[in-house]
């Protein structure tokens, strides 16, 4: 039994000392005829041998159009087979994949591409209400007058090439088929030589996390970071090459590309995408038709599946396990997932993008009470401690403090942002999560709040400062403070308290219209309060807790 809030994860299983590309080749050789990737909405069903052929053609195509080791290539698309192929292909040639949120709009896209200095980007044609092709032309109209690969853009100075996931050709862009056709200009020997130049501690992925400073930060992750995290998440679920996982969570996020794709790949298991974006009926149908053994999701996804009017029509008896993460799970939901969905071995996981992502996870056999009141115990090969955020001392068991984690999973740093990296990772390589947590005598961790005032809306992390920075650009706004308020469907919703400039008037609808198309839909505040002042401490600090209490009362959200 622990006396202080520190624990380390022991394991008889060693870490994987391999690059993602080498591990992929090993698994494809061991399980060539296992189904690797099933994509319902694209009618794709590939074995590991077939997937390897696609990945290598893509890798050779990318080399042929000039993508060098260490260069950044963005991907801006919903879940599709090309996402997975690009993920493994870039890993084989040492190009750093930059994940771009499918919900991003022009302002956010421009920032991510320029901050990471992407030289190329893979884009879907469109998704939901977003016309990606149109938005890229809006940012780089020079595409209309250049050959593919020869872009010289004023707004995107480092970007030279765009690959579009469409059969139709478009000015200045390669189609996916044209990229794959380029493979004939690069030999398999050249690809093999490139692969031998890679090391597992090198950066291979950048994922943008919204920052409390107002601008997203690029968490830079190595092969070692994400390959091992994907492997151990799946290993904690007792994954084998017989498991079949439905991945309805977005691939741009660690949940999809690491816990999903890499978790499956490292075990020779099957990755299943039921639809481009989350559709509850598509998930239920895929679970039945594919005899899936595992399913991922945030609690709101599981609720949507359970409450679907056709739920009873689907046979889910093949399901065994899965991961629920992103926000706390209500106890009744957990009971239904374990019984009605037959996922009696479902697990809870906790982490953050900066830690690849998972640090703690419940295990098979964890009591129901612990499944719904904690985020599990420490992961293999990692350490967790809970400290007094003021003096850094480790706290006794049961006392709330800041959760810190250390080990192979901690990111290399924030891309081109040494100042923010130093603020997040201390000299001893402890990552400060900004989350308030407690630890019990058995090492179970419970998240009790956030030091940073992050809002978690339906599993999406929303950082108030970023929205505040954007709203400040409205000509009528003098000051603004953004908070989270409770919501029955999404867990939390975003609310803005706005102080207008003297003599100005505005409406909530006006603010929503100002946000539309410029920031992601889930960041747009749902509630607005126009005020003359904000609750403050005697030292002039904004009292967001008091703002939240007032808002809950006024909106009747208790």
**Tokens 């391999």, located at residue:** 18
Which CATH number fits the domain that encloses residue 505?
3.30.300.30
Asked if residue 311 is part of any domain, the answer here is no
Mean residue pLDDT across the chain = 94
Looking at residue 502, its pLDDT comes to 86
Which residue from 382, 357, 337 is spatially nearest to 260, judged by alpha carbons? 357
Asked if residue 480 is part of any domain, the answer here is yes
Report whether 497 contacts 531 (CB < 8 A): yes
Asked if residue 354 is part of any domain, the answer here is no
Residue 350 structure tokens: 């906790």
Looking at residue 237, its pLDDT comes to 98
The helix or strand, by DSSP H or E, that contains position 324, with its residue range, turns out to be strand 321-324
User: Which of 217, 249, 267 corresponds to the end of one domain?
Assistant: 217
User: Which of 189, 217, 245 corresponds to the end of one domain?
Assistant: 217
Strand order in the sheet with 401-407: 6-8, 382-387, 401-407, 431-439, 445-450
The single-letter DSSP state of residue 101 is -
Which CATH number fits the domain that encloses residue 158?
3.40.50.12780
- For 292, phi then psi, to 5°, come to -65, 145
Pairing of strands 345-351, 270-273: unpaired
Residue 333 to residue 341: CA distance in whole angstroms: 11
Looking at residue 540, its pLDDT comes to 54
Asked if residue 186 is part of any domain, the answer here is yes
The helix or strand, by DSSP H or E, that contains position 28, with its residue range, turns out to be helix 20-30
Residue 489 to residue 299: CA distance in whole angstroms: 10
Which residues of the chain fall short of a pLDDT of 50?
Answer: 211-213, 539
Asked if residue 248 is part of any domain, the answer here is no
Asked if residue 16 is part of any domain, the answer here is no
Residue 282 to residue 301: CA distance in whole angstroms: 12
Name the packing angle between helices 299-306 and 331-339 (round to 10°).
60
Residue 375 to residue 359: CA distance in whole angstroms: 9
User: Which of 217, 243, 261 corresponds to the end of one domain?
Assistant: 217
Q: Which domain holds residue 213?
A: 48-217
- State pLDDT tens for residues 107-157: 999 999 999 999 999 999 999 889 999 999 999 999 999 999 999 999 999
How far does Cα 323 stand from its chain's mean position? 14
Residue 532 to residue 501: CA distance in whole angstroms: 10
Looking at residue 479, its pLDDT comes to 84
Looking at residue 452, its pLDDT comes to 67
Report whether 159 contacts 146 (CB < 8 A): no
**Tokens 């790949």, located at residue:** 265
What are the DSSP calls for 189-243, one per residue? HHHHHHHHT--TTSEEEEEEE--TTSS-EEEEEEHHHHHHHHHHHHHHTT--TT-
Say whether 379 sits in a helix, a strand or coil: coil
pTM of the predicted model over 0.95: no
Looking at residue 213, its pLDDT comes to 47
Asked if residue 193 is part of any domain, the answer here is yes
The number of domains in the chain is 2
Asked if residue 72 is part of any domain, the answer here is yes
Report whether 155 contacts 139 (CB < 8 A): yes
């Amino acid at each position: 039994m622990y006396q202080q809030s520190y624990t380390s994860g022991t394991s008889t299983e060693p870490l994987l000392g391999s690059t993602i590309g080498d591990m992929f080749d090993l698994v494809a050789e061991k399980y060539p005829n296992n189904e690797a990737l099933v994509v319902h909405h694209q009618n794709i069903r590939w074995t590991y041998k077939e997937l390897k052929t696609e990945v290598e053609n893509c890798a050779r195509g990318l080399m042929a159009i000039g993508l060098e080791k260490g260069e950044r290539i963005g991907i801006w698309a919903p879940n599709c087979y090309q996402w997975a192929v690009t993920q493994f292909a870039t890993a084989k040639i040492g190009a750093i994949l930059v994940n771009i949120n499918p919900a991003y709009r022009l302002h956010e896209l421009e920032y991510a591409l320029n901050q990471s200095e992407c030289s190329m980007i893979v884009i879907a044609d469109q998704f939901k209400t977003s016309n990606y092709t149109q938005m890229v032309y809006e940012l780089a109209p020079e595409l209309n007058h250049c050959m593919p690969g020869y872009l010289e853009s004023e707004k995107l100075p480092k970007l030279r090439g765009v690959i579009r996931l469409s059969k139709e050709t478009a000015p200045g862009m390669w189609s996916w088929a044209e990229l794959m056709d380029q493979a004939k200009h690069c030999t398999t020997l050249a690809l093999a030589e490139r692969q031998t130049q890679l090391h597992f501690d090198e950066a291979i992925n950048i994922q943008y996390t919204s920052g409390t400073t107002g601008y997203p930060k690029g968490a830079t992750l190595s092969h070692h970071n994400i390959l091992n995290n994907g492997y151990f998440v799946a290993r904690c679920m007792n994954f084998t090459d017989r498991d079949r996982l439905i991945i309805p969570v977005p691939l741009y996020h660690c949940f999809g590309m690491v816990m999903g794709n890499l978790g499956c790949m490292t075990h020779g298991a099957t990755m299943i995408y039921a639809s481009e974006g989350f559709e509850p009926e598509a998930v239920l149908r895929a679970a039945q038709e594919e005899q899936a053994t595992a399913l991922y999701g945030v609690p709101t996804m599981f609720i949507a599946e359970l409450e679907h009017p056709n739920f009873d029509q689907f046979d889910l008896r093949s399901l065994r396990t899965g991961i629920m993460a992103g926000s706390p799970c209500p106890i009744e939901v957990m009971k239904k997932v374990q019984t009605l969905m037959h996922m009696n071995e479902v697990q809870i996981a906790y982490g953050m993008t900066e830690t690849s992502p998972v640090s703690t996870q419940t295990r098979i056999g964890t009591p129901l009470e612990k499944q719904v009141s904690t985020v599990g115990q420490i992961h293999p090969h990692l350490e967790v401690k809970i400290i007094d955020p003021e003096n850094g001392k480790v706290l006794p068991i049961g006392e709330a403090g800041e959760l810190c984690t250390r080990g192979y999973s901690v990111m290399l740093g924030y891309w081109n942002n040494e100042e923010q990296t130093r603020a997040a990772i201390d000299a001893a390589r402890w990552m400060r999560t900004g989350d308030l947590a407690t630890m019990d005598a058995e090492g179970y961790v419970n998240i009790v709040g956030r030091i940073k005032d992050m809002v978690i809306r339906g599993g999406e992390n929303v950082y108030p400062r970023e929205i505040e920075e954007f709203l400040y650009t409205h000509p009528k706004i003098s000051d603004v403070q953004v908070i989270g308020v409770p919501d029955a469907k999404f867990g939390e919703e975003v609310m803005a308290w706005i102080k207008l400039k003297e003599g100005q008037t505005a409406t909530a609808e006006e603010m929503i219209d100002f946000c539309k198309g410029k920031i992601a839909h889930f960041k747009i505040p749902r509630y607005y309060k126009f005020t003359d002042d904000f609750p403050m401490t005697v030292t002039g600090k904004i009292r967001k807790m008091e703002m939240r209490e007032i808002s809950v009362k006024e909106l009747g959200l208790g």
